[in-house]
Chains A and B, each alone.
Chain A
Amino acid sequence: MEYGTVLMFLAIALLLGGTALGVNKLLMPYHPNSIKNATYECGNEPVGDAQIRYNVRFYIFALLYVVFAVEAAFLFPWAVVYREIEGLLPLGEVIVFIGVLVLALAYAWRKGALQWD
């Protein structure tokens, strides 16, 4: 593996990003004042709380998404080495792996976590 190339890539990426931000920092107009840093509310004085309450359904869907996205991420290396291993062992292992997660999906389905309303 050509790790020297990776290092060069990393160095150029940092250099480009750093140059853009650095030149910006040198040349940008910067005049902060208290009104400019104040919270925006269409020109009026801000009234009330700035915290918005989110629907809890977003959290539940995000949680389910994380679990299944990680599962998909683990399936990729398995798919790469599948050919090179003899026998039914890889198949059996992946069936167990996916089986556990199918159980989790079935539980979430039955409990109504996938219903939006």
Chain B
Amino acid sequence: MNGIDQDSLLLRMPGGQVLVSSLDRMINASRSNSLWTLTFGLACCAIEMMATGASTYDWARFGFEVPSASPRRADMMILAGTVVRKMVPIIRTLYEQMPEPKYVIAMGSCAISGGPYVYDSYTIVRGMEEIVPVDVYIPGCPPRPEALLHGLMTLQDRIKGQSVKKTGVDA
């Protein structure tokens, strides 16, 4: 469970490393080409996210076919919009309820750093990295659908660099 130990028999036997790296490529290709998103649209960036899911920019051709409202079958969370303090426990709970492997994308300036509400706001959270660990940041206010697709492809590249071998951090 949780991967293959670095000093296991499988890795020490002849051909074991090749087997594991082929397994890696297969698993990473499957994961990166089928990332179902937990669309956490909170504000205006949600509209750009919906546009990305619609027909002109269509993220379904990359495999993000099901924008699932439930965290239980979601692979990644796109947090699009402004985070207020009242929303923080909800975001954290939903992030925890996603099964591993899970990834987080911060879309838009508000999710990255508080956006235009950095000054003079009494209830904003200045950046969602205070709540959940973020994998990809997509700057913009709001980012265009092409920028969101570029961010999603960046996430796909990051996933392709992962491995089933156990490392010091969680898979």
When A and B assemble into the complex, do they touch directly, with CB atoms less than 8 Å apart? yes
Give residues in A with beta carbon < 8 Å to B: 25-31, 33, 35-36, 38, 40, 42-44
Across-interface contacts of B72 in A (CB, < 8 A): 40
Secondary structure call for the A interface: loop
Contact of B91 among A25, A26, A28, A43 (CB under 8 A): A43
Q: Which residues of B contact A (CB under 8 A)?
A: 1-4, 23, 27, 70-72, 89-91, 93-94, 96-101, 164, 170-171
B81 to chain A, nearest CB (A): 15
Q: How many A-B residue pairs have CB under 8 A?
A: 45
Also in contact, A29 and B100, with CB within 8 A (given A43-B89, A43-B91): yes
Closest Cβ of chain A to B4, distance in Å, is 7
Alpha-carbon distance A62/B23, docked complex (angstroms):
46
Given contacts A35-B97, A36-B99, contact A30 B1 (CB under 8 A): yes
Alpha-carbon distance between A29 and B165 when the two chains are bound, in angstroms:
11
- The answer, among A29, A35, A36, A44, for a CB contact under 8 Å with B171, is A29
B164 nearest in chain A by CB position: A27
Question: Hey, which chain A residues are within 8 Å of B99, CB to CB?
Answer: 36
A28 engages B71 (CB within 8 Å) = no
Decide if A35 touches B93 in the complex (CB within 8 Å): yes
The smallest C-beta distance from B21 to any residue of chain A, in angstroms, reads 14
Identify the interface centre among A28, A30, A43, A44: most chain B CB within 10 Å of its CB: A43
CB neighbours of A40 from chain B (8 A): 70-72, 97
Q: Which chain B residues border A30 with CB–CB below 8 Å? A: 1-2, 100
Residue of B27, B93, B97, B98 near A27 (CB, 8 A) is B27
